[in-house]
Amino acid sequence: MNKYNSCFQKHIGIPAFFTVVLTGCNQDQIKSASEEDLLIAKDRATEEKLLHEFQSLAQADPITTLDLNEPDPFELQEYPTHSIWPRVREGFEIDTHLDHPWVQTQLDWYSRHPEYLFRTMTRAEPFLHYILEEAEKRDLPTELVLLPIVESAYQPFAYSHGRAAGIWQFIPSTGRLYGLEQTWWYDGRRDIYASTQAALSYLQNLNKLFDGDWTLALAAYNSGSGTVQRAIRKNKKAGKPTDFWHLTLPKETRAYVPKLMALKELIENSELYDISLRCIPDAPGFIPVDTDSQIDLALAAELAELDVDTLYEYNPAFNRWATSPDGPHRLLLPYENAEIFKANLAKIPDDQRVQWKRHKIKNGETLSHIAVKYNTTVKELRKINSISGNNIRAGQHLLIPVASRGQSTYTLSSSQRLKAIQSNGKKNKTRVNHYVQSGESFWTISRKYNVNMHSLAKWNGMAIRDPLGQGQKLVVWTSNSSSTSAPGKRKPSQTIQPISYTVRNGDSLSRIASRYSVSISDLHRWNSIKGKYLQPGQKLRLYVDVTEQTKG
C-alpha cells in the first residue's frame, strides 16, 4: 500500500465507535490498553541491559466556544475524500531516534500488533481531524495527535489508576488548572472539545519550560515537570548529560516517549512494516452544536436521530442523564446528524428540554435524601427552588428535573457504567458489599478479601489514590466466604445491613445505640454528629446486625 493512501468512499460521516468496517479485519471486543501495551526500562546499574515488561496504561486553556464572528470551520460542505494521514505526516517535527533500543522495542511491538492499531484508529476517527486542526493552529508538531494513543488508546471513558481521565488523561488538579471543570454532572477531562485545547496548551507550556525540547516536554506531560526537573538537576550535579535518554526517570516515562516515536515511524513509513492504516477522511468527524440550555440526553439523541450510546460516546464528559444545568451547553454530534438536530431542537422550547416533577416534602425528608431519590444534587435543588441553606418544611413542594427514560436507557452515564462493572462478577466469585471502617484503605480492604487492590478500585469506579469515607459501600468480588463488613462490626456476616433512621422526639444517642446494639462512637463515626443532641426529623445512617435486633 502506498503510504499516501486515499479514501475511496465519499465522506458521509463517521462510523459507530467500536465497529470495524473493513472486510477481514479483526472484530473482537476491544481490549484495554493495559492488556496490549508494552513498557520497557533500562537497567539503572549497568545502563546496558534492556528490560521488557507489560505495565498498565490508562483504563484506561478553559472551555471555549466557537467565535460566531469568524468563519465556521465546521460549516457543512463537501470535503475531499483523501486520507488524513499525508496531512498528519507533513507536520511531523520530532526526531524519531530509531537507533535507540527503547524505540526499537516499542516499534517491534506495535508492528507485530496491527490489529491493536486498527482498533485504536477506529476509536480515534471521529476526533482526529479536530485535534489535527487545533495542533496546526498552534504550529505544534503533528506527532501530538498520536499522543492519545499512548495515553488512553483513544478510549473516551479511560480512567487510570492514577485518577487520570479522558483521552488526554488529565489528573484532577491539572485539569482544573487548565480550566476543565469537574462536577457531579460533567467532567471536562473527558470532553473531547475542551480537553484537547487544554492538553495542547499544557504541552505548549511544557515545551517552553524545557527550552523547546519536545522529548523533555513529553516526559513531563507523563510524569510531571517537577520529576523531570529534579532528574535534570541530579545529572547536572553529577556531570552527566541532561537529555531525555540519560535521565533517571520513572519506568513508565522512559517507555512513554519511545512509544510516540515508534507510532510516528509506523505512520510515516507504514508500507515498510506492512501496516495498512485505517483510512480516515481528512474531514470533520463531529460538529459542536450549542443547545443554549440543559437537555435530557435521551431527548437529544432522539432529536439527532442517534442512539443514546452513540451520543454519549461523542460526549463522554456528561456523567448523568442530562447535560449540566450550568453548562457547557454544547453537544458534539456526528457530522451528518448536526443539521437534523438543529432543526428538531428549534421546535423544542427551553423549558421542555428536561422533564420536571413536583415533589411534596414529607416529614423527616432532607434535601440530600430528595436529591439522591431523583438522581440530582442538593446544589441543583437549591438553585431551581431558590432555597438558601438546608431548611425545608413538610408540605412544601419542590420542582425537580427528572430523566425522561429509565436509568437503564442511559447505559454510558457514570452510575450505569459503574453498575455494569459491579455486576460483572466472574465465575466462582461472590459479590460482597463492604462498608468502609475508620482507617481502612484500598490496601487493607484488598488484603482482607485477598483480592487485587487495583481490581478493587476498578470494581467501584475509583482509583487507588481516591479517598474512602466511613460507611462508604464498596463492591468486592471474592472467592472467600467472607461478606458484608459494616463500620464498627468486625464479623463478616451477610446479616449486617445499612439502615436509615429518622430521629424522633425524645431520642438520644444513648437510646438509639442501645436499641440497635451499636456504640455511641459508631453513631458519631457514621454520621459525623456534632455535640450530644439530636433534632427530631434528623436522618442517621446505621449498620446493624439484623440477628441481634429485637422485635418491636
Active-site option among 36, 151, 265, 440? 151
Torsion sign across C-alpha atoms 140, 158, 335, 263? positive
Distance, in Å, from the CA atom of 297 to the CA atom of 354, rounded to the nearest integer, reads: 9
User: By three-state DSSP, how is residue 120 classified?
Assistant: helix
User: Nearest-CA neighbor of 202 among 182, 183, 186, 180?
Assistant: 180
- Residue with cell string 545529572: 235
User: By three-state DSSP, how is residue 262 classified?
Assistant: helix
Task: Please say if 151 is a catalytic residue.
Answer: yes
User: Is omega for the bond preceding 126 within 30 degrees of 0, making it cis?
Assistant: no
Cell of 432: 460482597
In terms of DSSP bridges, do strands 539-545 and 496-502 run parallel, antiparallel, or are they unpaired?
Answer: antiparallel
Backbone angles phi, psi at 83, to 5 degrees: -70, 155
Contacts for 139 with CB less than 8 Å, ≥ 6 apart:
none
User: Residue 162 to residues 57, 171, 455: CA-CA distances in angstroms?
Assistant: 10, 7, 13
Cell of 283: 474531514
β partners of residue 39: 53
User: Nearest-CA neighbor of 163 among 154, 175, 177?
Assistant: 175
Backbone angles phi, psi at 395, to 5 degrees: 100, -20
User: By three-state DSSP, how is residue 364 classified?
Assistant: coil
Instruction: Cite the beta strand spans of 425-534 per DSSP E.
Output: 430-435, 473-478, 496-502
CB of 295 closer than 8 Å to CB of 371 = no
Distance, in Å, from the CA atom of 526 to the CA atom of 531, rounded to the nearest integer, reads: 14
At CB < 8 A and 24+ separation, what contacts does 87-91 make?
Answer: 87/132, 87/142, 87/282, 88/132, 88/142, 88/145, 88/267, 89/3, 89/142, 89/267, 89/268, 90/142, 91/132, 91/135, 91/136, 91/140, 91/141, 91/142, 91/143
Backbone angles phi, psi at 475, to 5 degrees: -90, 130
User: Nearest-CA neighbor of 29 among 15, 14, 16, 19?
Assistant: 19
Residue type for position 274: D
CB of 359 closer than 8 Å to CB of 398 = yes
CB of 471 closer than 8 Å to CB of 435 = yes
Distance, in Å, from the CA atom of 37 to the CA atom of 59, rounded to the nearest integer, reads: 12
Active site residues: 151
